[in-house]
Every structure is written in C-alpha cells, then in structure tokens.
Amino acid sequence: MRLKDRVALVTGAASGIGLESARALAREGASVIAVDLDVAGGEAAAAALRDEGSEAHFVRADVSSAADCEAMVAAAEERFGALHVLFNNAGISHADDADAIDTDEAVWDLTMNVNLKGVFLGCKYGIPALRRAGGGSIINTASFVAVLGAATPQLAYTASKGGVLALSRELAVIHAREGIRVNALCPGPLRTELLMKYLDTEEKRQRRLVHVPMGRFGEAAEIANAVVYLASEESSFVTGSTFLVDGGITAAYVTPEAS
C-alpha cells in the first residue's frame, strides 16, 4: 500500500472527484478525513470507507470559512495523530457565471470564496500540520481552463482556477525545502455532475468532445489515480507542477510559445 500510515484530508469528499479520491486514497492505506458541506453525503462516504475496512471520519466544513478550515485540520490531527496529505478539492461552478458584463458581483464573490479562498485557507491551516508531521503533499484542484480559458463564458470559475494554479506554484517554491510538495491538479472535461448539468443534451456533449483529442469525457476515478500518485512518494520530485489530466485538450490548443 502506497499510503500506509498516512493521513489524508479531502475536501468536497461527498461526490465527484473528492469521493473517488477518498476511496482511492483509502484503498492505498490512508486514513481519511472526508470534508464536505453535504452532511448526508459526507457521512455516507466516510461510512462506506469504514465498511471497506478503512479508517475514515467525516467533518462538516465550509471551506470559505477560516474557522471551519482550522477545525477540519485540527480534527485530522486529533482523530488520527497527524496530517500528511491535503487535497483541497472543494469547488463550485455557478449557473449564472458568465462574462464580465453579465456575471453578478455576488456570483463572482461566492465563486472566489469557495474555489480560491477555500484553497488558501486549507493551506493556511494545513501547512503547519504538515510541518508537524515532517512534510507531506498538498494537491489543489485547478482546471484545464486555468491554462486555456473556457470556450463557454464562465469568468469567475476560470479566474478562480487560474488563481489556484498561481497560488500552488508560489507555495511550492516557498515550502520546497521543508519537504512539503504543492501541486495543482488540472482535470479536463469530466463526466461528473458538475459538468453534465450544463451539457444536458447529446448535442452539447458532442460539441465539447470535438475539442478533446481522446474523444471522450474523463472519469472522476481517473483523476483519483492522479491524486494517489501526487500524494505518494512516487511523486517525491514533483512539486509546483501544472498536473494536467485532460485527455489531450491542452496539447491540442496550447502553442509552445504560449506554454
């Protein structure tokens, strides 16, 4: 097991990438703190991990709240004695997120508070815990749109994920000599509820797939495999990376000069 005796905290663990990653980390031996606002979903996720023989505990937290982020990290140390892996994954994509003209300020603020401030707060309270554990891995969910921009206007989401990418790079440099690695995980278009609620017809889905060289949507479980790699010692020389798991979409559209 690649993560035996490791403790991993996963935000947004009730569904999608977070749920699949919690499962994958647990399969590799990690004790998991499953964090979400969705109490029923988060409790169910943690219970399912325990039923499979893993150590897991649910914590309700709003990642845009400093007090909640401090409490979720404290829960990891109190419950399991340490924190080694921090997966700042929780995020939203608002239905009314559009361009600069049509996006309401409240939508912008909410998106930034969850997607970017939530990652900042996770790191703010998580990094001291990783130091106490002697080092570890931070994985922050960004997106391929942080590299490309989105074809369909979603300005707040894209800007928030660009912020996650920049934040991750800087923290990687700051903490590299402390044995703390920080990487930005950038998924491509996935068959998750978050995306499929927008691509709600076959025509819309096919229009998106035209741009994906592999010709299909990714699965949350495939992103979870990347999370396990970035969490484990197999990626011991990987930090500050824009870790793309995107079916080739950025390779098709980013020129060498732009990258």
What is the tens place of the pLDDT at every residue in 1-20?
A: 899 999 999 999 999 999 99
Q: CA-to-CA distance for 171 and 122, rounded, in angstroms?
A: 12
Mean pLDDT across the stretch 61-72?
Answer: 98
Is residue 257 included in any domain, yes or no?
Answer: no
Q: CA-to-CA distance for 48 and 172, rounded, in angstroms?
A: 33
Q: What is the CATH number of the domain that holds 48?
A: 3.40.50.720
182 DSSP 8-state letter: E
Q: CA-to-CA distance for 162 and 145, rounded, in angstroms?
A: 8
Is residue 253 included in any domain, yes or no?
Answer: no
Is residue 180 included in any domain, yes or no?
Answer: yes
Tens digit of each residue's pLDDT (9 = 90 or more) over 69-91: 999 999 999 999 999 999 999 99
Q: CA-to-CA distance for 144 and 157, rounded, in angstroms?
A: 11
Structure tokens at 150: 């989105």
The whole-model pTM stands at 0.94
Is residue 55 included in any domain, yes or no?
Answer: yes
Tens digit of each residue's pLDDT (9 = 90 or more) over 94-121: 989 899 999 999 999 999 999 999 999 9
Tens digit of each residue's pLDDT (9 = 90 or more) over 23-54: 999 999 999 999 999 999 999 999 999 999 99
Structure tokens at 238: 């990987």
* 16 backbone φψ class: left, alpha, beta (φ>0; ψ -120 to 50): left
Decide: helix, strand or coil at residue 85: strand
User: So what's the pLDDT on residue 258?
Assistant: 47
For 109-144, give the DSSP string. HHHHIIIIIHHHHHHHHHHHHHHHTT-EEEEEE--T
User: So what's the pLDDT on residue 62?
Assistant: 98
Maximum alpha-carbon separation in the chain: 51
Q: Contact, 161 vs 144, CB < 8 A?
A: no
User: So what's the pLDDT on residue 193?
Assistant: 72
Annotated catalytic sites, by residue? 157
Q: CA-to-CA distance for 151 and 174, rounded, in angstroms?
A: 33
Q: Which domain holds residue 234?
A: 7-245
Is residue 93 included in any domain, yes or no?
Answer: yes
Is residue 50 included in any domain, yes or no?
Answer: yes
Structural domains counted in the chain: 1
Is residue 117 included in any domain, yes or no?
Answer: yes
User: So what's the pLDDT on residue 256?
Assistant: 59
Query: Is the pLDDT score of 257 beyond 60?
Result: no
Is residue 172 included in any domain, yes or no?
Answer: yes
Tens digit of each residue's pLDDT (9 = 90 or more) over 216-256: 889 999 999 999 999 999 999 999 999 999 999 999 886 65
Decide: helix, strand or coil at residue 16: helix
